[in-house]
Amino acid sequence: MLTVAAIERMKPRSTVYRVADTDGLCIEITPNGSRLWRYRYRFAGKARMMALGSYPQVPLAGRKDPASGTWIKGARELREDARQLVQQGIDPVAVRREQREELAREEDHADRFAAVAREWLEHRKPGWAAETYRKAHYACETYLIPPLQDAPIATLATKNVLPVLGDLAEKAPNLAIKARQYLGGIVQRAIQRGLREDGRFLSLKGAVRSYEKGHIPAATRPQDIAPLLSAIEVYPSPVVRAALILAMLTVMRPGVIAAARWADFDLDAAEWHVPGHMMKTRHAHIVSLPRQALAILEDMQAFSGGREYVFPPLARQTSKHLSRDTLSAALRRMGFQGQHATHGFRGMLRTVGRERLGFDIDVLEAQLAHAKKGDVQKAYDRTTFTTQRRDAMQAWADYLDGLRAAANVVPLAAVRRRG
């Protein structure tokens, strides 16, 4: 067996020569003094030889790199890795060739639009709310990456992206406006990484035709709210029904409702402490829970008590928790498409709470967790109206109970026929 001392004593000769170690490992000394590790083996009945690196960069035995603290495999370890592949009927040289080709492909595509777009998404993800990331990821993977994936980011031109935005604007104008912003961010990130010349931005102003943005549909009149309450009350899925009722009682955004975690609820204090990363404003938010919301959560203990998320996914869903889109789909099935959306519970509270229950506008804004307007408010206004919000949300829940009690229960089939 070779030793480090023996290797150090080896002198170059006029021709290449090899000195064996064990199990096919040997070291090759060239006339110029290079010492190269080789692994000799037989595969498919033929003699093969595999290069394992040069000495001393690849030591005889593995060692820890003092500078980085990482483990450097020695020649014997590399030989053993290759030897195990041979025993499994795999040619280690072919494996190495495939690895090098894969690496070359990755390097070749590192400056393509798809790679840069995905890196931009991961770069922005820590600073985004979960729902913000979901929208950006969806738009990129569904509408931007497929048509632009192989385009070199260094030469991507405005004329290349205009047809993409135009097609998207025909299907979803609001999403097209977001996609235009995402494209700007991706190109800016490419410039920051040195993959595109400084100052070479896309000219996308006016690329998406402006349109009159519609309001999120919301039931705001008692005669419209009562049938909605009755329909939700008899919805067949207890998990979806509970999620819709909690959305109505707390007016939190659909994504926050669907991803609600038991750990964030303090049922004794009747509070829901929503973490900042789940909020659009990126600030943690305390939601006061009326008695009716506490009852819903108590009922959900039978379905998800002891698990992470309050609302478990439905049978065919692969997510860890209920999908936010399931709530919208449920309202459509109940016949409320174009009349009320899950996000519409927020508009319902803001309208009814102001016009019929006399809630102070600042209390409503605090409950809805809207961002402060203006630099002065952002810098100095720390009011949260905790006590007022607690009273207001209990009054809101009681008001809805009154509407529900006064309404005739509408069978689900009848609601569907009405839609």
Given this model, what pLDDT does residue 324 score?
84
Confidence of residue 100 (pLDDT cuts 50, 70, 90): confident
58-97 pLDDT, tens digit per residue, is 999 988 888 778 888 999 999 999 999 999 999 999 999 8
pLDDT of 382 higher than 60: no
List, by residue range, all CATH 1.10.150.130 domains of the chain.
113-192
pLDDT of 383 higher than 80: no
List, by residue range, all CATH 1.10.443.10 domains of the chain.
222-418
Confidence of residue 399 (pLDDT cuts 50, 70, 90): very high
Q: Model pTM?
A: 0.55
CATH number assigned to the domain covering 222-418:
1.10.443.10
242-294 pLDDT, tens digit per residue, is 999 999 999 999 989 999 999 999 999 999 999 988 887 778 888 999 999 99
- The CATH number of domain 4-106 is 3.40.190.10: no
pLDDT of 107 higher than 80: no
CATH number assigned to the domain covering 113-192:
1.10.150.130
Given this model, what pLDDT does residue 278 score?
83
Given this model, what pLDDT does residue 415 score?
42
Percentage of residues of the chain with pLDDT beyond 90 = 57
- 3-state DSSP of the chain: CCCHHHHHHCCCCCCCEEEECCCCEEEEECCCCCEEEEEEEEECCEEEEEEEEEECCCCCCCEECCCCCCEECCHHHHHHHHHHHHHCCCCHHHHHHHHHHHHHHHHHHCCEHHHHHHHHHHHHHHHCCHHHHHHHHHHHHHHHHHHHCCCECCCCCHHHHHHHHHHHHHHCHHHHHHHHHHHHHHHHHHHHCCCCCCCCCCCCCCCCCCCCCCCCCCCCCHHHHHHHHHHHHCCCCHHHHHHHHHHHHHCCCHHHHHCCEHHHEECCCCEEEECHHHCCCCCCEEEECCHHHHHHHHHHHHHHCCCCECCCCCCCCCCCCCCHHHHHHHHHHCCCCCCCCCCHHHHHHHHHHHHCCCCCHHHHHHHCCCCCCCHHHHHHCCCCCHHHHHHHHHHHHHHHHHHHHHCCCCCHHHHHHHC
Given this model, what pLDDT does residue 401 score?
92
132-164 pLDDT, tens digit per residue, is 888 899 899 999 999 998 899 999 999 999 999
Q: Is the dihedral of CA 301, 303, 305, 310 positive or negative?
A: negative
List, by residue range, all CATH 3.30.160.390 domains of the chain.
4-106
311-361 pLDDT, tens digit per residue, is 998 877 777 899 888 998 999 999 998 899 899 999 999 899 889 989 898
Q: Which of 31-35, 206-210, 376-380, 385-389 has the lowest mean pLDDT?
A: 376-380
| pLDDT, averaged across the chain | 86
Confidence of residue 108 (pLDDT cuts 50, 70, 90): low
